Structure 1
Amino acid sequence: MRLTRRNLLTSMATMTAGLAMPALVRAQEDNFWDMFNKDRRINSVDLEGNTATAKSLVDTIEPILSYDTAYNLQLAIQNYEAFVGANGSWEPPSRETFGLKLGVSRRAAALLKRRLMINGDMPLEKRVNDEFDAGLDAAVRLFQARHGLVINGTVDEATFYALSVPADYRLNQLRLNAQRVEFWAQALSDRYVVVNIPAAVVEAVEGAQVVQRHNSVVGKVDRATPILNSKIFQVKFNPYWTVPKSIIEKDLIKYMNEDPEYLTKFRIRIFDGKGNEIPPAAINWQTTEAVKYTFRQDPGGENSMGHCKIDFYNKHDVYMHDTPQKALFGENARFHSSGCMRCENIEELVAWLLRDNGGWDVPGVLSAFTGGLREDVKLDVQVPIHTTYITAWANRQGTVSFRDDVYQFDAAGIVNFSEG
């Protein structure tokens, strides 16, 4: 079953305009005191508290990949099977659901409450009203947290899309991922790093608990991050970056045609086969001549790998690294790389990886970053790393999380992946 945002949101452009007039009419019908009391109720809602609660229910110490997750997924499957067997599916959100937020009074708010009660995001109530109140705000934020969305309490486009996914589709995700987790869990040790590609998240796990969790940026759909089991063996501080030929061909030539100063601005040097540096003007950028040369970016804050690179064994020439583009970590869909994995607050992960080398902690790593230390440090104890594809998981509190099937592996029914 293939599901895309496009086939669910084709009428989104006209939706907001269609909802504006009814909202205006209702506002005119409210008397002054109703409006005054409503504003007072809105101002009393602890929005930050609702967000913190939502995060706490999702970002627990339980790993996305573990034997416990496999067990929790089986419990979630039983619940979804019971619901789908009895009801078929939940009602898709109506057009009036789009744009709902705190303070809005609309019949769609009552329907949304009932839907979020089914999902467990909101406590069960026998009767619900049409107000988007504090309870519904908390429930929407929990729903957003479970689906890896920006937590803002508003039924925006991404939230509307997630609400539109049918129950049987979610059940199929749970079944597929239960098999994946069971398969991958066999390779786990006491200490490991997991990159879950659909969630674009990195977890450092020890003693069956998450000790660090980082937002990540992973491969684009057409330049996918590979699935693999490997071992981290080295950290490079303030590395040079040698541009892969695929990026020279697909990106660099285009950038140079758009801006002939691009290489100079980003301190990227060109070398021929004998190691001689040549000027950008010596290359015909209207052709693919550039792929014959080596392009190397100098170390520094603007380097594409940021201040460090984490190496692990693989045949795909992928790795984990820092990045100067920190704003990408705040996005919903963090699929921007050419296969490598960028890691937010990577200094914390580096300190954890190098703890057995002695003398490394977060302040020490940051000092190495900013001080321009150019050094390759081999790990005294290599740490396993698993890049995985898990679009549904659950924790022992019963919170079930979902992510989009970005690489369409769910649609293809893939359970076991060949390792790189």
Structure 2
Amino acid sequence: MLSRRRLLLTGSLALVFTPAAAFAQSQAEWSQNYEAVSRSRVQRTSTPMLSPEALAATDEMIQRYRDIAARGGWQQVRGAERLRVGSKGAEVVGLRQRLIITGDLDPTAGESPIYDSYVEAGVRRFQARHGLSATGAMNPVTVAAMNVPADVRMRQLEINLVRLRTYSGNLGSRFVTVNIPAALVETVEGGVVHTRHAAGVGKIDRQSPLLNSKVVEINFNPFWTVPASIIRKDLIPKMQKEPNYLTENKIRIFNGAGQELNPSQVNWFSDEATRYRFRQDSGGELNSMGFVRINIPNPHGVYMHDTPSKGIFGDDFRFVSSGCVRLQNVRDYIEWLLKDTPGWSREQIDATFKAGSRTDARLSVPVNIYWVYITAWATPDGLVQFRDDIYNKDGLGASIPVASRVPNEPDQEMFLQN
């Protein structure tokens, strides 16, 4: 029986193709094994990025990519930037061949010049493995990722195998991994992933640091004290252009004696503002930390937090902060963190959010946390993941394109969010 999705798909194609082309399309699709499509989907794995299983799988994947590179790698994908379901041409044939080499499309998919649902599923799988929005349609960013040479991907895996070995010991029965280039957070318990969270991490010029620490405390409805670096780089230039910015965003100014100043009392065309303390009122709708700050002692002064700008989590490129880490679905995260702390059920957490009052919750047992830099890893199911070397720590230079994924700053994003 045809699914509703397939019925709608074939119905829409009939509007685009001539009858002969439509017949060829159906022949191409029906001749393929439907299990091939299910195998091309990316399934959520419970294997942590930092685990002996991921280490072993990455080691095995290196050999596979060495073999691919030894056979000449893959051909460059050309003229495919606008391809999608219903497209037809030699470019589709080349795309099929590229997807087959890395296991994103079953070898039985053939050489049809038609971009059918099998090619779409293969593109989705490829996009998901590279941290791109899995639309199933081609675009310049997907083409750029496909055209990274096989020997470069092989080298990327080799470099990251060394990093994974660093974390192959006992990380704790419960721990958190923040993978910076993947802009992804995992909570791990009993050797399996409990939750995953999209994250916003440091910009290229304000990088999130690598660190090992512990989560010790949750601050509900926190104030935000503007760091000195942001006062100098962002706040002063902003006030020169928008004198009402502080008032509109509920940011107060205090002098050394703790007295509150009016923004009009400050000379914004000098460095006078660097001598004062700037504090944003609590409240998730405007406060740069949203409703929650998660404290992790470290020498860099960074932490994790909620954000009022939830739209960033739908972006492929989430390198948007001044070094701290913003979290999607923060309530699920802190519920997991506080599960062993008496008095902090999900109901209590939700009630504290709703109350809007400043409240602190100290974890009964601190949870290990690791901020790491892993741009390539594999899992025992045979899936290999790649991410951009956003901070150029792999040392592979321009071989892996990054600039094409840097968007304009989102309009809704406050310039001073940490």
Q: TM-score range by the shorter chain?
A: 0.7 to 0.9
CA deviation map 1:60-119 (0-9, x unaligned):
1111111211101011001011111222x211111x111111110111111111111100
Which of 347, 356, 360 is matched with 2:340 structurally?
A: 356
Which of 60, 68, 82 is matched with 2:45 structurally?
A: 60
SS at match of 1:128: coil
1:170 and 2:119 aligned: no
1:193 and 2:203 aligned: no
Structure 1's unaligned 5+ residue stretches are 1-26, 45-49, 414-420
Q: Which residue of 1 aligns with 2:250?
A: 267
2:129, 2:384 within 8 Å by CA — same for their partners in 1? yes
1:382 and 2:366 aligned: yes
Distance 1:335 1:245 in 2: 21
2:221, 2:353 within 8 Å by CA — same for their partners in 1? yes
Which of 345, 350, 355 is matched with 1:366 structurally?
A: 350
Which of 111, 126, 144 is matched with 2:94 structurally?
A: 111
CA deviation map 1:326-346 (0-9, x unaligned):
000110110000000000001
Query: What TM-score, normalized to structure 1?
Result: 0.85
Once the 2 structures are TM-superposed, how far is the Cα of residue 132 of structure 1 from its aligned partner? 0.3
Sort the Cα spacing of 1:384 and 1:227 in 2 relative to 1 into closer, same or farther, 3 A.
same
Q: Which amino acid aligns with 2:171?
A: L
Q: Which amino acid aligns with 1:193?
A: V
Aligned residues: 378
Q: Which residue of 2 aligns with 1:6?
A: none
User: After the TM superposition, which residues 188-337 of structure 1 pair with which residues of structure 2 at under 5 Å, given as runs?
Assistant: 188-301=171-284, 302-337=286-321
Sort the Cα spacing of 1:288 and 1:213 in 2 relative to 1 into closer, same or farther, 3 A.
same
Distance 1:72 1:64 in 2: 11
1:201, 1:215 within 8 Å by CA — same for their partners in 2? yes
Sort the Cα spacing of 1:289 and 1:389 in 2 relative to 1 into closer, same or farther, 3 A.
same
Q: Which amino acid aligns with 1:352?
A: W
User: After the TM superposition, which residues 96-135 of structure 1 pair with which residues of structure 2 at under 5 Å, given as runs?
Assistant: 96-125=79-108, 127-135=110-118
Q: Which amino acid aligns with 2:337?
A: L
Which of 75, 84, 89 is matched with 2:60 structurally?
A: 75
Distance 2:46 2:357 in 1: 33
CA deviation map 1:19-73 (0-9, x unaligned):
xxxxxxxx9xx9742466689999x9xxxxx99987742x311111112111010
1:51, 1:141 within 8 Å by CA — same for their partners in 2? no
Once the 2 structures are TM-superposed, how far is the Cα of residue 188 of structure 1 from its aligned partner? 1.0
Once the 2 structures are TM-superposed, how far is the Cα of residue 201 of structure 1 from its aligned partner? 0.3
Distance 1:33 1:90 in 2: 34
SS at match of 2:237: helix
Once the 2 structures are TM-superposed, how far is the Cα of residue 370 of structure 1 from its aligned partner? 2.3
Once the 2 structures are TM-superposed, how far is the Cα of residue 127 of structure 1 from its aligned partner? 3.3
1:51, 1:151 within 8 Å by CA — same for their partners in 2? no
Sort the Cα spacing of 1:255 and 1:115 in 2 relative to 1 into closer, same or farther, 3 A.
same
* Identity over aligned pairs, percent: 42
2:86, 2:116 within 8 Å by CA — same for their partners in 1? yes
Q: Which residue of 1 aligns with 2:71?
A: 86
Sort the Cα spacing of 1:126 and 1:61 in 2 relative to 1 into closer, same or farther, 3 A.
closer
Sort the Cα spacing of 1:52 and 1:384 in 2 relative to 1 into closer, same or farther, 3 A.
farther
SS at match of 1:221: coil
- Name the one with the larger helix percent: 1
1:33 and 2:19 aligned: yes
2:156, 2:376 within 8 Å by CA — same for their partners in 1? yes
2:211, 2:372 within 8 Å by CA — same for their partners in 1? yes
CA deviation map 1:338-363 (0-9, x unaligned):
00000000111101111111232334
Give the CA RMSD over aligned residues.
2.5
Sort the Cα spacing of 1:402 and 1:365 in 2 relative to 1 into closer, same or farther, 3 A.
same
2:25, 2:116 within 8 Å by CA — same for their partners in 1? no
SS at match of 2:71: helix
Sort the Cα spacing of 1:191 and 1:269 in 2 relative to 1 into closer, same or farther, 3 A.
same
